């Protein structure tokens, strides 16, 4: 068979049935996966080759119906109706096949009977077996007239059989109906509330079926009491009184483990990286590099990079796996369920809690994730307020400030007490960000974005045992190293720029000190100083480099050499007039200030307006400035 163009396969199905996991398994890519609905908000594509057949795979956003009620459902509907795919791979959940069959019926109405074959992939068979659910795949295949492949994508069970079936269909692909694909597509797009069979009577050769009756015939429940266990857990996790306590305890536990476990590795890593500094300088001098170039590269670039790696890597290597475990366990939608009432009172959408959770990893990802919110008004509110929760780039700064100024003061009370107090303070800052999000959402809903909250369907996924090996690999490579490399890539030229600013003098004063002196009156009003503001301004490309910029401003000659461990930072800050109030103001401003450049560009892309992008910059900045001013005045 001579193939001129790739065989196009579209993965369709309900949210959270494992489409992205199957997509990754087929293409060997790393599309975002997790145990909650709404991760995929746009089409992702990838290629794979099997037995000489080249296939282009498209991962569509999850949808419950082809009658779209959200942007991601419209994306899936439009692609399916367009007829671009040569094969539709419909993925359904083996523990709840009826919902998948309902979607399959709609897809068959527009794709069956014309040259667009369909395969039903019944995923999560391992979970069905644990719950005592037996699916008669042969009956499904016979009644539907299409191949039905049992699969467990996480363990790669059934994937070889799936590829074989795709290969067979690709070889035998030919026209089965005289109806042009565009005709059915036009019918559905012009009248999305009607089925294609109603509009195109000649499609009636497709075997009809009732999803509920077929599911009842093909599925057997041998352990109906299994679901009661999840209900009992949910009564506690989502209870009106216990839900908030559980959420707070989990949040504080994650931060406590992060803070407690990161101190020693951070110190050890700094010692290792610092020991290389002299060798790097000697190597550059041996190569004939000028003295000023060695100073710039070693004292300007390398020291900033070494500091970022030693301070950021250990906390992130602990926080991200813990956060991913909660995600895979299925807790995030339950947190959204607990927060739904609060968001409704603010005239916003409860799905905003999920976008906030994305924002903990990256605010830019949280902004893109706002596409899962159906209402344009509520989506815009979620975009404008997403930066009020701290992203992973701000966590190292917050943890550092709390560790130096609060763990140090509480050291006499014991390590456990000090670390618990630090975790409590960080949790309080996170809750402050959540409260600010709720307050800002209500303010926007009552002023420039008036409206009433909309209803939505929130699916609580089953509790799933996380695959610890995959969680560790995914969190380290897809999150920790990605964020760290991004920070290093930005920090290296920033360190060079700061070294240049610190050594280029204007009127007998370095440009960095001149800028710091110019901003110092504003900084004092906010309980900080000019150099701290310089750090935030020059840290616009990435929040991770704010503290290194401040240090390079304070230590113009590279006295960072004397930092035997991170505790030496306390002496540096104290020598420049820092107090507990300074640390509190900086922590608050770190929590509430303009988003990074990547997030700003993402906001511009999602809203299509520089005006709303400016609003997203001013909203957290004004809030942070007002709070810092009040702290300065009151305390």
Q: What is the band of 165 on the pLDDT scale with cuts at 50, 70, 90?
A: very high
Q: How far is the first Cα of the chain from the last one, in angstroms, to the nearest whole number?
A: 78
pLDDT digits (tens, 9 = 90+) for 236-245: 998 888 988 9
Lowest mean pLDDT among 136-145, 347-356, 381-390, 510-519: 347-356
Lowest mean pLDDT among 57-61, 479-483, 622-626: 479-483
Both tokens of 213, joined, read: 């009756």
pLDDT, greater one: 228 or 527: 527
Report the pLDDT value the prediction gives residue 204, as an integer from 0 to 100. 34
Spatial contact of 64 and 45, defined as CB atoms under 8 Å apart:
no
pLDDT, greater one: 598 or 566: 598
Q: What is the band of 2 on the pLDDT scale with cuts at 50, 70, 90?
A: low
Angle at 631 between CA 625 and CA 634, to 5 degrees: 135
3-state SS class at 618: helix
Report the pLDDT value the prediction gives residue 563, as an integer from 0 to 100. 47
pLDDT digits (tens, 9 = 90+) for 100-125: 999 988 887 765 445 568 899 999 99
Range(s) of the chain covered by CATH 3.40.50.300: 7-224
Average pLDDT of span 582-592? 94
What are φ and ψ of residue 454, in 5° steps?
-100, 155
Q: What span, in angstroms and rounded, lies between the C-alpha atoms of 369 and 620?
A: 19
Report the pLDDT value the prediction gives residue 189, as an integer from 0 to 100. 44
Q: Looking at the chain, how many residues does it have? A: 635
Counting residues of the chain whose pLDDT is more than 90, the rounded percentage is: 24
Q: Which fold has domain 7-224?
A: Rossmann fold (3.40.50)
Q: What span, in angstroms and rounded, lies between the C-alpha atoms of 576 and 573?
A: 5
pTM of the model: 0.73
What are φ and ψ of residue 356, in 5° steps?
-65, -40
DSSP tag of 120: E
Average pLDDT of span 19-26? 90
Average pLDDT of span 25-30? 83
Spatial contact of 586 and 528, defined as CB atoms under 8 Å apart:
yes
pLDDT, greater one: 569 or 96: 96
pLDDT, greater one: 415 or 148: 148
Report the pLDDT value the prediction gives residue 199, as an integer from 0 to 100. 34
Report the pLDDT value the prediction gives residue 362, as an integer from 0 to 100. 77
DSSP tag of 407: I
Q: What span, in angstroms and rounded, lies between the C-alpha atoms of 242 and 441?
A: 25
Contacts of 588 (CB under 8 A, 6+ apart): 429, 432, 624, 627, 628, 631
Counting residues of the chain whose pLDDT is more than 70, the rounded percentage is: 86
Which residues are bridge partners to 157 per DSSP?
152
Report the pLDDT value the prediction gives residue 177, as an integer from 0 to 100. 42
Contacts of 574 (CB under 8 A, 6+ apart): none
pLDDT reading at 490 higher than 80? no
Contacts of 113 (CB under 8 A, 6+ apart): 176, 177, 179, 202, 203, 205, 206
Average pLDDT of the residues of the chain: 81
Closest by CA to 26, choosing from 2, 53, 48, is: 48
Lowest mean pLDDT among 16-25, 53-62, 393-402, 607-616: 393-402
3-state SS class at 205: helix
């Amino acid at each position: 068979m001579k193939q001129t163009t790739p065989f196009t396969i579209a993965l369709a199905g309900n949210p959270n049935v494992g489409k992205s996991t199957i997509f990754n398994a087929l293409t060997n890519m790393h599309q975002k996966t997790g145990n909650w609905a709404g991760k995929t908000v746009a089409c992702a594509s990838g290629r794979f080759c099997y037995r000489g057949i080249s296939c282009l795979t498209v991962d569509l956003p999850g949808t419950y119906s082809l009658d779209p009620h959200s942007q991601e459902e419209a994306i899936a509907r439009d692609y399916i109706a367009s007829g671009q795919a040569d094969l539709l791979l419909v993925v359904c959940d083996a523990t709840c096949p009826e919902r998948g069959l309902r979607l399959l019926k709609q897809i068959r109405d527009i794709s069956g009977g014309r040259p667009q074959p369909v395969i039903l992939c019944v995923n999560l068979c391992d979970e069905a077996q644990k719950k005592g659910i037996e699916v008669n795949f042969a009956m499904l295949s016979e009644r539907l007239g299409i191949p039905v492949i049992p699969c467990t994508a996480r363990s790669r069970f059934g994937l070889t059989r799936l590829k074989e079936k795709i290969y067979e269909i690709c070889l035998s692909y030919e026209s089965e109906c005289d109806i042009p694909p565009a005709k059915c597509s036009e019918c559905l797009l012009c009248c999305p509330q009607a089925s294609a069979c109603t509009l195109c009577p000649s499609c009636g050769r497709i075997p009809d079926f009732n999803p509920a009756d077929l599911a009842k015939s093909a599925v057997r429940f041998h352990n109906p009491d299994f679901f009661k266990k999840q209900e009992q857990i949910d009564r506690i996790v989502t209870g009106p009184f216990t839900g908030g306590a559980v959420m707070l305890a989990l949040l504080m536990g994650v931060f406590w483990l992060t803070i407690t476990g990161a101190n020693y590795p951070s110190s050890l890593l700094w010692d290792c990286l610092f020991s290389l500094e002299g060798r790097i300088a000697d190597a550059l001098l041996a190569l004939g590099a000028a003295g000023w170039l060695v100073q710039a590269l070693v004292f300007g670039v390398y020291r900033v990079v070494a500091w970022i790696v030693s301070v950021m890597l250990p906390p992130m290597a602990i926080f991200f796996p813990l956060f991913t475990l909660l995600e895979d366990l299925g807790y995030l939608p339950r947190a959204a369920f607990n927060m739904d009432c609060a968001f409704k009172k603010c005239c916003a959408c409860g799905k905003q809690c999920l976008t906030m959770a994305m924002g903990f990893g990256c605010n830019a990802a949280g902004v893109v994730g706002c596409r899962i919110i159906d209402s344009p008004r509520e989506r815009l509110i979620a975009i404008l307020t997403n930066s009020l929760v701290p992203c992973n780039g701000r966590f190292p700064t917050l943890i550092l400030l709390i560790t130096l100024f609060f763990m140090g003061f509480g050291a006499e009370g014991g390590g456990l007490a000090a670390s618990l107090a630090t975790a409590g303070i960080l949790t309080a800052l996170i809750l402050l960000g959540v409260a600010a999000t709720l307050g800002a959402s209500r303010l926007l809903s009552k002023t420039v974005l008036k409206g009433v909250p909309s209803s939505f369907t929130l699916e609580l996924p089953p509790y799933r045992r996380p695959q610890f090996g995959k969680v560790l690999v995914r969190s380290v490579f897809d999150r920790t190293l990605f964020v760290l490399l991004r920070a290093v890539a930005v920090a290296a030229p920033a360190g060079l720029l700061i070294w240049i600013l610190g050594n280029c003098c204007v009127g007998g004063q370095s440009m960095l000190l001149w800028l710091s002196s110019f901003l110092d009156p504003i900084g004092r009003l906010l309980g900080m100083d000019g150099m701290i503001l310089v750090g935030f301004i020059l840290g616009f490309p990435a929040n991770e480099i704010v503290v290194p910029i401040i240090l390079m401003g304070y230590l113009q000659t590279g006295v960072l050499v004397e930092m035997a461990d991170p505790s030496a930072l306390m002496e540096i800050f104290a020598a420049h007039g820092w107090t507990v109030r300074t640390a509190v103001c900086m922590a608050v401003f770190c929590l509430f200030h303009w988003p990074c450049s990547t997030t700003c560009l993402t906001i511009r892309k999602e809203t299509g307006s520089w005006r709303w992008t400016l609003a997203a910059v001013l909203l957290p900045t004004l809030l942070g400035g007002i709070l810092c001013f009040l702290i300065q005045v009151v305390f």
